[in-house]
Structure 1
């Protein structure tokens, strides 16, 4: 008896390069891989769509400005969102490891993200000024914590339920589907059939619904139970940092990944260079540029990273350096304020950003020993989370001298990150 429909089988065969190899899965997991593959795509696409609609870099920055929250609070958005989803993983990875089926951690995390997004929409409708800013940052912190649970559990479930050379195809395709939805949102922002604030708050609420739906679908995955891993105490968790000392490749990977954080932290400074402040027209263009970059690049990066995640990291570092360099040139010759100019730069930078994300995820899953995948992920995320907070503070300090200083620093770091990634071992074969 087949465990999945012909449709699931056909879709699976169409989307992956080698549907017949076992990909390192157990016999039981191989049999249900096509239906699991489809569920991964559906739940991850819902999550990616929600991510795009609650984009801290663009959408929430605009919303807080609209609510009059104050510049200081707006500067907290990206570091809270990025570091908050990475730092807690060292402490949650042990508890997740104790679960026989890790899919529950992701499903619950997704639902909590959804509830936090609905809370942000509710706050935006009822409060204004600095109080709204503080409440939204608090809800975003909860969302980021829930996201960290999803992030710490996802690679493990993906590794157990989708074969080795097919994981990039699943995550890349889901990213593209999610991006298509965000493009529709950008189109609405540009066309503006309703008041822009209504559109933005409606999008945040829709994200809440999408995350809840994604969690419900993920809970239906067929995941084999596995022996309960020993839960690590806090001191043991921190002791996992020894992996950085013991594994030179892991250390080099973390350095490369840390240098490539500019693609995540630079966009708010590009907004400043555009001198558009919150030019209403610019928001739609920037969201469109960001979503188009995701749509056009995620699938390609996904397939490329199945062949060589190392090369994806190198190329995305180079692309980030070129995009940020272009922003500096535009600012120097006085063209940064031209409508659409910075949107084009952001498009290039977001292509680099998605390359960094896809490359680092695939590289880590392929590099880590099977029984230490969660530990490698947690250690790498802890170090990069600290780097994000420090880099966020340092770039804010540099930006006091002028936004172009922060952009220049991120451009140099991206180029250096590509050079460090060049020295990594190939692990995709």
Structure 2
């Protein structure tokens, strides 16, 4: 068996020129061995330490995301607190669009900083404080008051998440080499998913069926974000050149054809994030999924992330373009499978909808991995934050539009919405063929 190709840390390469050559102490040989095992390549000890810090802090952040998931955990919590249904319905739009739309403005502030890791850490602290406020509201309020307070805290959490999102790709690109970035984020996704699987198992066994236990899980999420912020501040990041002009740079939107195609592909893959509630609706209409079976959805989603995130990450290091193509096809197949199960009367079975949902979540996590890696590798080194902000702001707008259209289609029936979503995913795979290879 041939040995994996060795890529050493070369000072002439783009990432290395931006890495901070400090004398920061650390367990170099141990970190290098662990990171080499994860990435499959030999690395410089400094990059290995940075890679491990990325993995641990990102794992903590992703696990916190799973513990406070608006689609599942917060929806169940607001329902149990007696909040109006309209507030429950606002949770996902607040979380998703709120984390994307502000990024174009935040990118201008980010460009003024020499240390971009501090921007990510500030966002993580904001998410931790917001999660703590959600837990406090759940313990002290009920009904509409609880719903309004939790929605307000979630809006603050989404804004803080936007700060993390707009800065992370820039920080990752400066501290980890191109061929190993997907491995970093993929490993973090798989490890954090294992923790969420544990939560799902506890929910299925009734251990966490009470409101207090769920609030404790949210409080744990707050602590994880604070720990992630502290660890991210220890990254050995090269100082960036601050820009005095903080106005957002919109020019890549009409100058860079690949960015235009990427935004189009990513926009047409948005249904992989919007479709899960329609799977639940299909099942509940047939009596196949009771409201109190929260653990089923948590377990299915986390298992898909655990089994696929690292694999998607390694595949993205080879070709993130093909990851986007494949996930569009898989997502469309999952949606059409759910529609087919409904037409054949299989939604009352134990396995039909969960199996289709599992397939969809495989595609969803692949989309997340592929789009992140592609954007970091495609964007010019000094424009990563700008490109991320432009893409995410555009997708935030498309999320609102697609969510509205999906809701209108659902008036006809969830099957109609899923068929429309599947068509978009198939179209995304076709358009992705026109993307350049950037790895």
Q: Which runs of 5+ in 2 are unaligned?
A: 1-22
1:54 equivalent in structure 2: 68
Partner residue of 1:251 out of 255, 260, 272: 260
TM-score w.r.t. length of structure 1: 0.93
| 8 Å CA contact retained: 2:116, 2:240 | no
Aligned 1:50-199 pairs, distance under 5 A: 50-199=64-213
Q: Deviations over 1:307-332 (max 9, x none)?
A: 00000000011110011111111112
Structure 1 gap ranges (5+)? 21-29
Are 1:269 and 2:278 an aligned pair? yes
Which segment is superposed worse, 408-417 or 303-312?
408-417
Count how many residue pairs are aligned between Structure 1 and Structure 2.
414
Instruction: Give 1:108 shift.
Output: 1.1
Residue aligned with 2:100, SS: coil
Q: What residue in structure 1 maps to residue 26 of structure 2?
A: 4
CA distance in 2, matches of 1:2, 1:248: 41
How far did 1:338 drift? 2.9
Aligned pair partner of 1:311 in 322, 328, 347: 322
- 1-structure distance, mates of 2:208, 2:303: 23
Deviation readout 1:239-275 (Å, 9 max, x if unpaired): x333121111111110000000011111112111111
- For the residues of structure 1 that align with 2:103 and 2:176, how far apart are their CA atoms? 23
Q: 1:340 to 1:118 in 2, by over 3 A?
A: farther
Can you list the C-alpha shifts for 1:170-213, whole angstroms capped at 9, x where unaligned?
11101111101101100100111354323322211111111111
**3-state DSSP of counterpart to 2:293:** helix
* Counterpart contact for 1:3–1:31, Cα < 8 Å: no
Distance in 2 (CA, whole Å) between partners of 1:202 and 1:278 is: 25
Give distance in 2, aligned partners of 1:73 and 1:202. 22
Cα deviations across residues 368-408 of structure 1 (Å, max 9, x unaligned)? 11111111111111111100111112212222222222222
> Helix, strand or coil: the match of 1:101?
coil
For 1:64 and 1:341, how far apart are their aligned partners in 2? 28
Separation in 1, partners of 2:308, 2:422: 20
The 5 A counterparts of 1:207-218 are 207-218=221-232
| Cα distance in 2, alignment partners of residues 78 and 87 from structure 1 | 14
The counterpart of 2:39, out of the listed 5, 9, 16, is 16
Q: CA deviation at 1:280?
A: 4.5
Q: Which residue of 2 aligns with 1:27?
A: none
CA distance in 2, matches of 1:374, 1:194: 39
Query: In 1, distance between residues paired with 2:145 and 2:417?
Result: 29
Cα deviation, 1:277-307, whole Å, max 9, x if unaligned, reads: 9724531111000000000110000000000
- Measured in 2, the distance between the counterparts of 1:194 and 1:113 equals 23
Counterpart of 1:418 in structure 2 is: 429
CA contact (8 A) 2:288 2:347 kept: no
Is the 2:117–2:237 Cα contact (8 Å) retained in structure 1? yes
SS at the partner of 2:382? helix
Question: Where in structure 2 are the equivalents of 1:355-374 lying within 5 Å?
Answer: 355-374=366-385
> Could you tell me how far apart the structure 1 residues matched to 2:351 and 2:82 are?
25
RMSD, aligned CA: 1.6
Report the 3-state secondary structure (helix = DSSP H, G, I; strand = E; otherwise coil) of the residue aligned with 2:50.
helix
Whole-angstrom CA distance in 1 between matches of 2:391 and 2:354: 31
Q: What is the CA distance between 1:226 and its match in structure 2? A: 2.1
The 4+ residue runs of structure 1 with deviation greater than 6 A are none
Work out whether residues 189 and 199 of structure 1, in 8 Å CA contact, stay in contact via their aligned partners in 2: no
Q: CA deviation at 1:19?
A: 2.2
Q: Distance in 2 between matches of 1:157 and 1:363?
A: 15
Deviations 1:97-124 (A, max 9, x none): 1110001011111011011111111112
- Tell me what 1:323 maps to: 334
TM-score, with normalisation over the residues of structure 2?
Answer: 0.91
Query: CA offsets, 1:204-248, max 9 Å, x none?
Result: 111111111111111111112122123322xxx2xx333121111
- After superposition, the Cα gap between the structure-2 partners of 1:334 and 1:197, relative to the gap in structure 1 and judged at 3 Å, is farther
Other-structure match for 2:58: 44
